[in-house]
Amino acid sequence: MEIFYSILPELIRIVVCAVCGAVIVFGNALVMGYAERKLAGHIMLRPGPMEVGPHGIYQLVVDGLKLMGKQLVVPAKADPLLFRFAPLLAFAPVFVPLLVIPFSSKLQGFDLDIGLLVILALASINLLAVLIGGWSSNNKYSLFGAFRAVSQNVAYEIPMLLSLLSIIFMTNTFSLKAVVAAQSPVWFIVIQPLAFLIYLVSIVAETNRAPFDLPEAESELTAGFHTEYSGMSFSLFVLGEYANMFIVSSVATVFFLGGSSGIPLPYFEYSGIIWFMLKVYTLMFFLVWIRWTYPRTRFDQLMNFCWKYLIPFALVNLLITVVMVKLL
């Protein structure tokens, strides 16, 4: 019994972290699912969902119930095991990055000195899930979608990493908390505007959203890699996508927008989360705005833009940063 009491605080901490992670993942999906449809509607000069509840605010709850009630269809020629496994692999890894994100100076699961690496390593697993899902569906549209997803994500990971690396050179640490602490007078968006721009373009491609949503371009590929998925296995992919959007926006907030810093409120060690969430959702609103404003690019334009413009600019930016850090 004594042993039990000795590990109790740590046990409670782990459970609380896990529950908070789940709340963030599902709550974020509900909010973003509704906001995306409503914003898309208003950008296209139509009201969006209006029927269920005032201004359709219960729409996503009803949609969730509908998706849970649907049959999970496995195509006859698909690989049954991998077909069922892929949505789980897309969804499960999104919980771990949430543990290392500093929502305020005290609200953080674990402050690891390799915080950024944890996020990047687990983000790369999502791509494997997309590949497995696309391949195991045994459908040409799914396969093409998966192909496009991998070539696009592998390419855009490079400028994303390079832009974050220039911040890492300035702060000398991978710990997200230390990066937030390093930008107390000025946010890094002021010092590194080019890196922020490159990161912003890269995350649009990394999260497979328009104008870079070639992996699921509905006019060419029906729905891309998740064409054959139905019911909850489809919604696991969607939940994973929204959670990934949240994670990349949080990384942008931590690295460029000063994390939880802002006008001081009472109990600022905890209430900094208000500023953090405000910044994250502003970025996510920006991503939705881009999605419903710009038309889809062509695939060769997308790849040329990455290899011929983003990567060279990111490299030059990194070089200048390194020289400046050495000189100053």
Partner 1 sequence: MIVYKYIAEVLFYALVILTFAGGIMAVRSKLLMHAVLGLAATLFGVAGLYFHLGSPFLAMMQILIYVGAVCIIIVLGVMLGNTPDQLAAKHLTGRNLPLALLACSTGFIALFVATIARTEFTVATEKVGDMSIEFVGESLLLQYCMAFELVSVLLLTAILGAIILARGGREEKSS
Q: How many other C-beta atoms can be found within 10 angstroms of the C-beta atom of residue 58?
A: 14
Contact 130, 98 (CB under 8 A): no
Task: Indicate which single residue of 117, 319, 323, 324 sits in contact with partner 1 (rule: CB under 8 A).
Answer: 117
CA distance 163 to 144: 29
Evaluate the omega torsion of the peptide bond into residue 211 and state whether it is cis, within 30 degrees of 0.
yes
The length of the chain in residues reads 328
Number of residues that bind partner 1 (CB under 8 A): 33
Contact 173, 251 (CB under 8 A): no
CA distance 1 to 3: 5
- Residue (150 or 274) nearer to partner 1, CB: 150
Task: Indicate which single residue of 127, 176, 180, 287 sits in contact with partner 1 (rule: CB under 8 A).
Answer: 127
Contact 231, 85 (CB under 8 A): no
Choices 66-74, 109-117, 208-216, 306-314 (CB under 8 A): range interacting with partner 1: 109-117
Residue 74 binds partner 1 (CB under 8 A)? no
Task: Indicate which single residue of 19, 121, 190, 324 sits in contact with partner 1 (rule: CB under 8 A).
Answer: 121
Per-residue interface string for the shown chain with partner 1, residues 78-97, x marking contact by CB under 8 A: xx--x---------------
- Which two tokens mark 137? 């569906």
CA distance 236 to 238: 5
Residue 113 binds partner 1 (CB under 8 A)? yes
Supply the DSSP string of 101-135, one letter for each residue. --SSSS--S---TTHHHHHHHHHHHHHHHHHHHHH
Residue 14 binds partner 1 (CB under 8 A)? no
Per-residue interface string for the shown chain with partner 1, residues 229-268, x marking contact by CB under 8 A: ----------------------------------------
Shortest approach of partner 1 to residue 167 CB, angstroms? 16
Shortest approach of partner 1 to residue 305 CB, angstroms? 21
Contact 233, 84 (CB under 8 A): yes
- Residue (150 or 315) nearer to partner 1, CB: 150
Nearest by Cα to 281 from 22, 21, 31: 31
- Residue (118 or 243) nearer to partner 1, CB: 118
Residue 168 binds partner 1 (CB under 8 A)? no
Choices 37-45, 55-63, 130-138, 212-220 (CB under 8 A): range interacting with partner 1: 130-138
Residues in touch with partner 1 (CB under 8 A):
3-4, 6-7, 77-79, 82, 112-114, 117-118, 120-122, 124-125, 127-128, 131-132, 134-136, 138, 143, 146-147, 150-151, 154, 174
